[in-house]
Amino acid sequence: MSESGLPESPEELKKLIEELQEQNNTLLTDNNTLLNKNERLKERVKLLEDHIFARRSEKWTVLDKHQMYLFDEAEAVISEDPSESGESDESDAQKGKSKKKGRKPISADIPREKVLYSLSIGERTCPCCGKLRPIIGYETSEELEYIPAQIKVKVHEREKCGPCNCGDFEDSEEAPIITAKAPPRIMPGSIASASLLAFIITGKYCDSLPFYRHERIFKRLGVDISRTNMCNWTIKTALKCSDLID
């Protein structure tokens, strides 16, 4: 051992360096683990702050335990979902013996939109004789496409007709002005349609989405709907549907 405390033998120095490298790798791993844990704790603190400072009427009665551990989920799932991956490491012989594994089929109830990709005339033309090569089929694959939420204004125009200009009409008891009937609305005089109410109430009571988050969603879509209005609409809708509940 030298005066500096380091071994003089090259073999011992090499062994010391390897030990230090191993310790360094362990410290780096522990540091990354702590950094990830710190990020998850920050997200939990944010969720708790949202819960504490939300309006009283919008606070969760029970804090959703699953939402608190939402950010642990990505690390908990360490293996790929077999329903998503269509690949397999099995040999052709093994594939023939065992059941075919692959992606689960998408439900046939979901609407399909076909997009056709055709070969050009130049690609189909036979270089030998100039004839078009025959179409023998199609190679098909599917992907799920998400259509973002949309807001539109439905304008109800009820047609109005005045009195007839015939001579007998003046002596009749017919109403001078008639107006077409509109379908009944759950909340007449309000801008809330049945579909809008269904979205708000489902989000609130099925997806635990408080009204202040609904308010943000609508603002991103360019519509200003206050929490007060949503609360009032929900109460009125519940009263209208009370007969169905009973």
Nearest Cα to Cα of residue 102 among 81, 76, 83: 83
Q: Would you place residue 78 in the very low, low, confident or very high pLDDT band (cuts 50, 70, 90)?
A: very low
pLDDT at 37: 86
Q: Would you place residue 10 in the very low, low, confident or very high pLDDT band (cuts 50, 70, 90)?
A: confident
Is residue 75 within 8 A of residue 33, CB to CB? The reply is no
Query: Within the chain, where are the H helices?
Result: 10-53, 65-68, 73-76, 92-97, 121-124, 194-205, 211-220, 227-240, 242-245
Q: How far apart are CA 14 and CA 102, in angstroms?
A: 50
| DSSP states along 185-221 | -SSTTSS--HHHHHHHHHHHHTS---HHHHHHHHHHT
Give SS3 for 151.
coil
Higher pLDDT, 171 or 128: 128
Whole-structure pTM value = 0.53
